[in-house]
Structure 1
Amino acid sequence: MNAYRTIAIRAANRAGDYIVKAFNDRDRIIAKMKDLNDFVTNVDQQAEWLIIDTIKASYPEHSILAEESGLKEGSDKDTIWVIDPLDGTRNFIDGNPHFAISIAVKQKGKTVAAVIFDPMRDEMFSASNGDGAQLNQTRIRVAAEKKLEKSILATGFPFRSSSNVEEYLNYFSALLPACSDMRRAGSAALDLAYVAAGRVNGFWEFGLSDWDTAAGTLIVKEAGGLVGDVKGNPFSSRAKSILAANPHVFKQFVQTVKNF
């Protein structure tokens, strides 16, 4: 197993144990609003510290980009760990057991290892560049469905700002009748992991950050899927949207929204 993936799994397990204990003891959770509809808790912050502490024990020279503490450059600026310690914080606050830890390792901008861990279900999605994707110890592949009309798509609403709502609704209005159904569960990291595992046929959203997508994009690609923006262009951390799907659904999705 890729050494970076091994450390990412170790870090995710350590943070996951803490998150599960906090989830089961609601009095330990202190939540505050970072921005409109954007929350953080003391559990996010402590989980992030546990992840960084685990990484630094093995790679003290590496750089860190984490959602809550930002960018901390090490002597090795070419290797960056991209961390979301608790993706789905609002679910966590409300007692909805659907959230995940997301950890990716980038070298010179290319993701080489990735982990998405659902601590409530004990599901560890992982990948390293060129070695395929796994759920725990089992190899996973994207779904084989060839038709968008028979596909279930996952999505996320642009809840942080009203600026993308009208554009999002245009896409939603075109896609809902074109597919079998749409799901909005509240964790982009798990949505991407579910695409990789074949549980949904595609995922699309606007306005995500690198820590939301860095791990999931590699896991989807290593599971045989495609990742781009909603117009089918190559995906980057600066993209304003994301589309991840099996190759057949990806192409039909892009065709459906080509005129927007």
Structure 2
Amino acid sequence: MHPMLNIAIRAVRQAGNIMTKYYEKMDSIESKQKGYHEFMTYVEKETRYQMIAIILKSYPQHTIITTDNNTMHTGDQHVQWIINALDGSINYIKRLPHFSISIAIRIKGRSEIAVVYDPIRNELFRAWRGHGTQLNGYRLRGGMVRDLEKAILSTNCSFKMNPNASPYIKIIEKIFTQCADFRRHGSVALDLAYIASGRIDGYLAINLAPCDFAAGELLIREAGGLVTDLTGSHDYFYNGNFVSGNVRIVKALLAHIRVK
């Protein structure tokens, strides 16, 4: 196994231990005194600190990028660790057991390693470029659904109307009538891991940050899936717009997006 993959796995597992410990204390006196949002922020900071400490102990010269593209440690820009210490914070606050921790390692602008960890289900998705995607040691090959009308899709859209979301809502409305159903789980990284495992057939999102999808997109590609932006190009790291699934599902989604 790649040594950096080993460190990434160690970091997400240690962070997961912290997160599940506090998850059980969500209704404690301490959390109520702090307020649920403040308590969640405290947990996220502690898990992030633990992840960074583990990474820098082995690779002190590397750069670490966290949520919202903040650079917590600036080192060798050729090697970047993109981490998300808690993806699905609202679910965490509500004790809805669907959230994740993720790490993507990019070397010279190319994703090489990805880990997405669900600490509640103890499911660890991992990918190493050229070596495939695995879930708890078992190889994943993505979904086999070929037709959009049979596909279960997911999105990051909250369906809460606002002026900026209006064009995207129209796209969702159009595709909704063509697919089997839509889901919105609240953790982008887990949704993308589910694309890689075939639990979800397609994903459509806008305005994502790299920490949201950097790990998931490699999981999908190494499982045989396709990732593009809304135009079918590969600029999603720069514009944050994201379409994924197997080749036929992505082509069908892009065809509907392009129709005015």
Report the residue type matching 2:134 in the other structure. Answer: Q
- Counting aligned pairs with the same residue, the percent is 36
Q: Which residue matches 1:36?
A: none
Q: Which moved more, 1:99-108 or 1:20-29?
A: 20-29
**How many equivalent pairs are there?**
255
- 1:25-46 C-alpha deviation (Å, 9 max, x unpaired): 113545448xxxxx96111111
Q: Which runs of 4+ in 1 moved over 6 A?
A: none
Contact kept? 1:158, 1:206, Cα under 8 Å? no
Counterpart of 2:152 in structure 1: which amino acid? I
Q: How big is the alpha-carbon RMSD for the aligned residues of Structure 1 and Structure 2?
A: 2.0
Moved more, 51-60 or 24-33: 24-33
User: Structure 2 stretches of 5 or more lacking a match?
Assistant: none
Deviation sequence 1:187-208 (CA, Å, 0-9, x none) = 0000100000000101111111
Find the counterpart in structure 1 of residue 206 from structure 2: 206
Q: Gaps spanning 5+ residues in structure 1: where? A: 34-38
One-letter amino acid of the structure 1 residue matched with residue 57 of structure 2: A
1:70–1:160 Cα change, 3 Å: farther
Q: How far apart, in 2, do the equivalents of 1:202 and 1:252 lie? A: 10
CA contact (8 A) 2:69 2:211 kept: no
SS at match of 1:178: coil
Is the contact between residue 79 and residue 106 of structure 1 (CA under 8 Å) also seen in structure 2?
A: yes
Q: 1:125-144 to 2 correspondence within 5 Å?
A: 125-144=125-144
Query: Which amino acid counterpart does residue 115 of structure 2 have in structure 1?
Result: V
Distance 1:190 1:138 in 2: 17
Q: CA deviation at 1:220?
A: 0.3
Counterparts of residues 156-195 of structure 1 (less than 5 Å): 156-157=156-157, 162-195=162-195
Higher helix proportion, which one? 2
Which aligned pairs between 1:1-260 and structure 2 lie closer than 5 A?
A: 1-26=1-26, 27=28, 29=31, 30=34, 31-32=36-37, 41-67=41-67, 70-157=70-157, 162-260=162-260
TM-score (norm 1): 0.93
Residue 157 of structure 1 aligns to which amino acid in structure 2? Answer: C
Letter in 2 for 1:233: S
What is the CA–CA distance in structure 1 between the aligned matches of 2:168 and 2:208, rounded to whole Å? 13
Q: Does the 8 Å CA contact 2:83/2:102 hold for their aligned counterparts?
A: yes
- Larger proportion of strand: 1
CA 1:69–1:211 in structure 2 vs 1: closer, same or farther (change >3 Å)?
Answer: closer
Measured against aligned partners, the alpha-carbon deviations of 1:137-173 in whole angstroms (never above 9, x if no partner) come to 1000111111011100011115899343101211111
The secondary structure found in structure 1 opposite 2:77 is strand
Q: Distance in 1 between matches of 2:10 and 2:187?
A: 21
Closer/same/farther in 2, CA of residues 40 and 25 from structure 1, 3 Å limit: closer
